[in-house]
Structure formats: structure tokens, C-alpha cells
């Protein structure tokens, strides 16, 4: 089983349509297990996943403890859950035993494209 994790803020929130499509496709695989790995709290994470239409088992949503581990917080979970590939937008969170795929910042796109706009009624 190949285990792949995705950060939320700056990854899924920045490119929701692209990453939702990738995650949906990966979740259909019998040889891939997908995780959400974030330093956001669980309720905020759940709200974003619902807004994107993503469904995850509770045990596949991993909330890193930045207060306890600092910039090593995701590394701790990557190693604990034997994650093989991780997508993130912070270089320090990409320093682990996993194959780390860095989502390069694009300043022309907001960090969170899911935030409600003043005229957004959704």
C-alpha cells in the first residue's frame, strides 16, 4: 500500500479543483491510501474538506501538533503513519522520510480560494 498525504492550507485551499480531482482519483485506487496532513485544527480542516466535497475516514485526517513539535510536526506524523509521498507548500514541512512534493507559492493566486467573498452566498 502506498500512502500519500496532502496539506490543506496553501495546497488544497489554493488549488481546490486540481487537488480534489487528484485526491478523488487516488482514493479509487486499491493500492493507494490517502491522508490529509495539516497543522490546522480538526474542525477547520473538516469544514474545508466538506466545502471541497472531499470525504475522509476520521483516522485519515492527521492534525500535526505544531505547539509540541514546531516545524518537525508533520515529519513526526509522516514517520508514525509510514507516509510515502507528501504534498506541502512549506519547505520545512517537506523535510521527512517521505518523497516530498513542494507546491510552489504563486502570489497571483490567494492562499485560500475557498474563502467567502463579500457577495458569496454559498
Q: Residues 15-69: pLDDT tens digits? A: 999 999 999 999 999 999 999 999 999 999 999 999 998 988 889 999 999 999 9
What residues make up the domain containing 35?
1-64
Q: Residues 70-113: pLDDT tens digits? A: 999 999 999 999 999 999 999 888 888 899 999 988 889 888 88
pLDDT range class, residue 116, cuts 50, 70, 90: low
Residue 37, C-beta contacts closer than 8 angstroms, at least 6 positions apart: 5, 6, 7, 62, 64, 74, 77, 78, 83, 86, 88
pLDDT range class, residue 118, cuts 50, 70, 90: very low
Any domain includes 90: no
Any domain includes 38: yes
Any domain includes 48: yes
Q: How many domains does the chain have?
A: 1
pTM for this structure?
0.90
Any domain includes 93: no
Amino acid at each position: 500500500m502506498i500512502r500519500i498525504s496532502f496539506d490543506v492550507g496553501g495546497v488544497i485551499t489554493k488549488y481546490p479543483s486540481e487537488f480534489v480531482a487528484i485526491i478523488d482519483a487516488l482514493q479509487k485506487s486499491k493500492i493507494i491510501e490517502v491522508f490529509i496532513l495539516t497543522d490546522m485544527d480538526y474542525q477547520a480542516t473538516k469544514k474545508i474538506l466538506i466545502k471541497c466535497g472531499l470525504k475522509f475516514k476520521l483516522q485519515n485526517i492527521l492534525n500535526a501538533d505544531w505547539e509540541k513539535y514546531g516545524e518537525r510536526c508533520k515529519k513526526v506524523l509522516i514517520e508514525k503513519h509510514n507516509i510515502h509521498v507528501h504534498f506541502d507548500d512549506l519547505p520545512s514541512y517537506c523535510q521527512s522520510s517521505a518523497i516530498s512534493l513542494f507546491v510552489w507559492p504563486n502570489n497571483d493566486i490567494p492562499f485560500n480560494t475557498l474563502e467567502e467573498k463579500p457577495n458569496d452566498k454559498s
